[in-house]
Chains A and B, each alone.
Chain A
Amino acid sequence: MSKVFQFGHLPVHSHCFSQDRKTLAITKENTVEVYDVSTPSAKLLATLKDHDKTVTAVDISIHGRIVTCSQDRNAIVWEPLSDGSYKPTLVLLRINRSATSVKWAPNGYKFAVGSGARVIAVCYFEQENDWWISKHIKKPIRSTILSIEWHPNSVLLAAGSTDGHARVFSGYVKGIDTKPEPTLWGEKLPFNTLCGDFVSSNGGWIHDVAFSPAGDVLAFVSHDSTVTVVYPGGANQPPRSALSVSTSYLPFTSCIFANESTVIAAGHSCHPVVFQGDETNWVLSHAIDDPEKNKQAEDSETSALNMFRQMDLKGTVVGKNASNLKTIHQNTITQLRPYSESNGSLTKFSSSGIDGRIVIFSA
């Protein structure tokens, strides 16, 4: 069964659970709200208020630090204090357009911010200056970066952009990272090395990118309603295979790997869809929370509240569920996140939507 949180009716662009899944951070207009979700009803713990434009993304590191980025061109790291409040530290991003996405590296010592300024800012803490500073990945990016994803080794990162390219870069920072083991993406990885460049099959925007749990497979979703999975062929080699699945759904805005051979994607169709495959072929497996199958349950549900709400909104009582979608999310899903796993495979994942809902689905 899916667990649903409703946090008002404002869009949630991004959400993130803490490592222990007890706290949840969600974006709400110019602020980020932090909730305690260990009890059945969510309790508001803190509101993070320092941004003065829409917050576009939020992420929590394995150490519990929260990072937010916003259309005001800033990123802020929020350090949790013992009294339950958070201490903000502004990060010097040096960008002249809005920040669009932010992700902590899996080791929690640095993070990357994608932006409309055609750069990726890789940020790390400098002990001497007591300050978060950033290094820019510039070339060959020539359009807005919409999504960022780190490789499990915390060195490589993937970025999806609006010119239809999904790229893999090295985000190696001297002094912070130890020399990474060679991977299929490359052996020598100085900062800003381009390790892979892939184009969506019909040239649509790349909305989201994802690495497989082992990091040897890259998936991305683009605005042409396709999911593309790429298997790299080794350093400076063309990919072993790049497989694209076209669907009849509306475009997907987010994707995650459930395991090496399963990808879950969701977006404007308001419910998650599961894809499965291997190096030779990928296919659409099934839909989760499928509106086709939900018809019965939704139609039988009636409530007085709903009736009066419809009378208030539309001045009519007929078709009280007619305007409801037959899915849990009532609007576009903005982001998927892994929630829990067992035996290396995802068992639960969470989603946030423009309808203000956070849903935990069973995979």
Chain B
Amino acid sequence: MEDWRRIDIDALDPENTMTLEELTPEVPPVSSQEVSSKINNIRTLISKGSHGDAILLAVDEPPYGADEQSKELYLNTVIDIFSATKQTDIASIVKSLSLEQQNALLKYLYKGMASKKGQQQGGILLAWYEKTVEVTGLGPVVRYLTDRRTV
């Protein structure tokens, strides 16, 4: 006899499942051209040495709606800013960001730690993380955990 007690009845109920799309707040789509032009702008700022402005540009309206490949390229650029910035400047840069931008910054720090490139620069990311959370408190960390709009 079939072991009916082990049947997952929820799987048989079509109204029961919620897809990831339904749970994600709507984000406007971003094309890969837009992402790469933004990356170029950020790179120009890095080469000029104005890292604060580069961070500001990077975490202002991050490309939530872009495809995975563009997001990857964008992340690598953000990690480049992280490693180019002097550690003593971090606190003042973070303070100059708005709440929404701080949330995005935390997302890039976490995403960076999960990526190959970020792991090679672990020390830098950890220093950024420490100094950021010192300024912002735990709010952005919680929002990183709950927000389904990913960077």
Contact = CB atoms under 8 A, between A and B. Distances in A.
Interface stretch (A8-16, A199-207, A320-328): A199-207
A163 B25 contact: no
B92 interface: no
A145 to B, nearest CB: 14
B136 A202 contact: no
Contacts of A247: 137, 139
B24 interface: yes
Given A199-B25, A203-B23, A203-B24, A249 B137 contact: yes
Given A142-B15, A163-B18, A163-B23, A205 B138 contact: no
Contact of A204 (B16, B22, B146): B146
A223 B142 CA distance: 7
A225 B137 CA distance: 11
Contacts, number: 58
Interface string B20-33: 00111100000000
Contacts of B136: 248
Nearest to B136: A248
A236 interface: no
Contact of B146 (A118, A143, A223, A248): A223
Nearest to B146: A204
Interface size class on chain B is 20 to 34
Nearest to A201: B25
Contacts of B138: 225, 248-250
A204 B147 contact: yes
B95 interface: no
B131 interface: no
Interface in B129-149: 136-140, 142-143, 146-149
Contact of B139 (A143, A163, A203, A248): A248
Nearest to B100: A246
Contact of A251 (B16, B18, B142): B142
Contacts of B99: 246
A205 B149 CA distance: 14
Interface in B71-128: 99, 103
Nearest to B26: A199
Contacts of A163: 18, 22-23
**Nearest 6 A/B pairs, CB to CB:** A248-B137, A204-B146, A248-B139, A202-B147, A224-B146, A224-B143
Interface of A: 118, 142-143, 163-164, 199, 202-205, 222-226, 246-251
